[in-house]
Amino acid sequence: MPLTQYFTGIRTLADKTMDELTPSASVNPKLLHEAMRHSLFAGGKRFRPILAVTACEAVGGKREIVIPFAVAIEMIHTYTLIHDDLPAMDDDDFRRGVPTCHKKYGEAAAILAGDALLTLAFEILADTARFPGVKAETILRVARETAGAVGSTGTVGGQMVDIEMAGKEPDMATLEYIHTHKTGKLIVASIRGGAALAGAEEDQLSALTEYGRSIGLAFQIVDDLLDVEGSREKTGKTPGSDLKNKKLTYPSIMGVEESRKLAVKLTDRAIKSVEMFGESSSRLRDLAEYVIARAF
């Protein structure tokens, strides 16, 4: 099956479940639910749900098992985007090709839409009935790992350091911290959670963690490159935002060509780390290649 068809299959399934699990815009408070839906269904790539499903299938699981988890992850990701776009953070007007949540619904509704998406994600994860056949202790472990990945020592921590470092002297170690936390932790959690819910062994989880760390960093480098070179059509947001906000990025420290080389190296490392899965790693390999293809 071609990769695009594979992606569409997962997106369709995830979007259908996301629609069912998100309160309708006719439910009170209507504005809040409309704002949540505006950002959720604005056309994201659904990269993290795709990662969760691919990891699940790489260890022999059925994709239906992980769809509620994949949806919860996408809700968490969407909350980070809504909050990141706020005037107090990146102050962006466009996201996913449409006006940002605060531009359309105002700042208060956007903050609350982000809060509500984060909370809803954990409500879904804590509902063991949504994961038939999976042990409660596995679900609990996945919920705990996901919370750890997005809290103050994960995504939120990465965002904090990113904000603190804006306009300061470039420094590679800090840049790596920002990227591995701001973007990488949720990507790793998506992959580990997808595999764990499918019953992965510890050595499989370790290999997938290495894979996730490498593609997570490659993904962020590509995002940096697209901010320099991309167009609104390609990225769905206004390019040049990092420069405007004096953000530390790979191209700003090592230049465009070296950044590209590093992304390729990380992709190779990701592919090597899942060789133990044999043929069932082919989609993981495709995904790693898809990540860097966006930067070329």
Instruction: Kindly give the interhelix angle for 155-165 and 185-197, rounded to the nearest 10 degrees.
Output: 170
Which CB atom, from 66 or from 149, has the smaller least distance to ligand GRG?
149
Q: How far is the CB of 227 from ligand GRG (least distance, A)?
A: 8
Question: How far, in Å, are 140, 217, 265 from residue 221 at the CA level?
Answer: 32, 6, 12
Which CB atom, from 209 or from 238, has the smaller least distance to ligand GRG?
238
Per-residue 3-state assignment (H helix, E strand, C coil) for the chain: CCHHHHHHHHHHHHHHHHHHHCCCCCCCCHHHHHHHHHHHCCCCCCHHHHHHHHHHHHCCCCHHHHHHHHHHHHHHHHHHHHHHCCCCCCCCCEECCEECHHHHHCHHHHHHHHHHHHHHHHHHHCCHHHCCCCCHHHHHHHHHHHHHHHCCCCHHHHHHHHHHHCCCCCCHHHHHHHHHHHHHHHHHHHHHHHHHHCCCCHHHHHHHHHHHHHHHHHHHHHHHHHHHHCCHHHHCCCCCHHHHCCCCCHHHHHHHHHHHHHHHHHHHHHHHHCHHHHHHHHHHHHHHHHHHHCCC
Q: How far is the CB of 26 from ligand GRG (least distance, A)?
A: 26
Q: How far is the CB of 198 from ligand GRG (least distance, A)?
A: 22
- Note whether 252 and 170 are within 8 A (CB): yes
Q: How far is the CB of 134 from ligand GRG (least distance, A)?
A: 26
Q: How far is the CB of 226 from ligand GRG (least distance, A)?
A: 9
Q: How far is the CB of 69 from ligand GRG (least distance, A)?
A: 16
Which CB atom, from 29 or from 43, has the smaller least distance to ligand GRG?
43
Residues in touch with ligand GRG (CB under 6 A): 44-45, 47, 77, 80-81, 83-84, 96, 155-156, 159, 182-183, 220, 223
Q: How far is the CB of 83 from ligand GRG (least distance, A)?
A: 3
Which CB atom, from 155 or from 273, has the smaller least distance to ligand GRG?
155
Q: How far is the CB of 128 from ligand GRG (least distance, A)?
A: 27
Which CB atom, from 44 or from 61, has the smaller least distance to ligand GRG?
44
Which CB atom, from 182 or from 283, has the smaller least distance to ligand GRG?
182
Which CB atom, from 49 or from 277, has the smaller least distance to ligand GRG?
49
Which CB atom, from 61 or from 154, has the smaller least distance to ligand GRG?
154
Q: Half-sphere exposure (CA, 13 Å, Cβ side) for 35?
A: 27
Supply 224's token pair: 């940096």
**What residue is closest to ligand GRG based on CB?**
44
